[in-house]
Amino acid sequence: MRLILVSAVVALPLVVGGCSFIDGGKPVSASKPPAPPPSPTPALSEKAAMTALQRYMLGINAANGKLNSGLASKVEVGSAQQVHNAQYKVFKQNRLKIRPVKYTAGLAAAPKFSGYPKWFFAAATDSGSKPATRDILLFVQEKAGAPWRVAYAPFSRTATGPIASGVDVEDFPDVVPAGDPGLVVSPGKVAPALADVITRGTRSTWAKQFTLGRLVKAQYQGLLATRKAYVGNNWTGTSKAVAATTPVYAVRTKSGGALAWFGVDVKASYRGKANAAGMTWESSDFGDFQKGFGMPSTVRSSITSVERNEMLAYIPPKGKGKVQIIANRWFPVSAKGQ
């Protein structure tokens, strides 16, 4: 990956390399076989990448400042848009503000494509966070001429240096197939596999394929705590992690492994018994979630919710270690109850 230098105001010198499209050559005659499809080329040029990152930073700050989903939709799509839509509801109800993003420096890579959609990623240090964090942004362009919009925005507490120890990517890497058989877990299976680990812990058949670090343990323990709280207060129901329906994006690393962006949802559904205690859902950072989603602050009969986890994982080749969760972003995307 190459260094990018980012100004939080105007200039964004971003180095990801240029791209040139392969000329298809002269038309073939009827007697010759058809020309092969164009060779894959980098997703975008240096100038286009610079423009995309600048546009996102300015656009998301405008949306966050007004808690405006319409503005956010101009620079976000998919999971990233779903998360901010939910955040804006909660923040408005709880009268909270979002700190402006201030990107300073980071890393970027532009995978190679021969068609659409195309995507690239930038790992940008956000000095607006206290302490600084790093947003590892996955940008998508759905068709020619369409704007580049962020589909995933997990963040890491490691604000500078390599994305993870021993993990690096070429400037113009290849995209990894969903069913790649050479990896510990294929990109197409990593979301349901991790969801099973979050739900079942070390009882999961996938547990040995994952490094059970802070992020995974926190999700597992949080799910158990939710179950215990409801069942212990005379509610029936369950909590379970599942793969989100959002796309998986994976890029080849220099080690032969993959970096993969994907989503895991924790779904909860509980119903109170006749003598059930009233239940609240609050956070020191985000306030009253139930009020934020238009429910009573205390629910007494039912609640259903979906909590989104945007994940970035390093998936090593078989025999070369375990899947590591490098970055994540969590927020409830829906909740209903009474």
pLDDT tens per residue across span 292-315: 999 999 999 999 999 999 999 999
Which CATH number belongs to the domain containing residue 236 in this structure?
A: 3.10.450
- What local confidence, expressed as pLDDT, does residue 112 receive? 94
Percent of the chain with pLDDT over 70: 89
Instruction: Give the pLDDT mean for 78-107.
Output: 94
Residue 260: strand, helix, or coil = strand
**Dist CA 232 CA 305 (whole Å):** 19
Query: What average pLDDT score do residues 135-149 get?
Result: 96
Residues 207 and 268 in one domain: yes
Q: Can you give the pLDDT at residue 19?
A: 31
Query: Which two tokens mark 181?
Result: 């058989």
Structural domain of residue 95, as residue ranges?
2-20+39-156
Arithmetic mean of pLDDT, 106-120: 91
Question: Given 101, 133, 156, which residue is the final one in a domain?
Answer: 156
Cα distances (angstroms) measured from residue 213 to each of 151, 168, 220, 254, 324:
25, 20, 11, 23, 8
Average pLDDT over residues 76-95: 98
Sorted by sequence, the CB contacts under 8 Å of residue 191 that are 6+ apart come out as 243, 244, 248, 262, 263, 264, 311
- Is the pLDDT score of 16 beyond 70? no
Q: Are residue 233 and residue 302 in the same domain, yes or no?
A: yes
DSSP state of 177: P
CB 169, CB 1: distance < 8 Å: yes
Q: How far is CA 3 from CA 129, 150, 303, in A?
A: 21, 20, 46
Percent of the chain topping pLDDT 90: 78
Q: Tell which wins on pLDDT, 159 or 278.
A: 278
pTM of the model: 0.89
For residue 66, give the H/E element and its range.
helix 46-66
Do β-strands 103-109 and 118-126 pair in parallel, antiparallel, or remain unpaired?
A: antiparallel
Higher pLDDT residue, 74 or 40? 74
- What are 262-284's pLDDT values in tens digits? 999 999 999 999 999 999 999 99
Q: Secondary structure of 203-248 in the HEC alphabet? A: HCCCHHHECCCHHHHHHHHHHHHHHHHHHCCCEEEEEEEEECCCCC
Tell me the mean pLDDT in the region 218-234: 96
Same domain, 230 and 326: yes
Residue 135 lies in a domain: yes
Per-residue pLDDT, 32: 66
- pLDDT, mean over the chain: 89
Total domain count for the chain?
Answer: 2
Is residue 173, in this structure, part of any structural domain at all? no
Q: Give the residue-averaged pLDDT of 115-139.
A: 93
- Asked if 11 and 152 sit in the same domain, the reply is yes
User: Is 63:72 a contact under the CB 8 Å cutoff?
Assistant: yes
pLDDT digits (tens, 9 = 90+) for 23-57: 233 444 445 677 677 788 888 877 787 788 889 99
Residue 34 lies in a domain: no
> What pLDDT was estimated at residue 2?
56
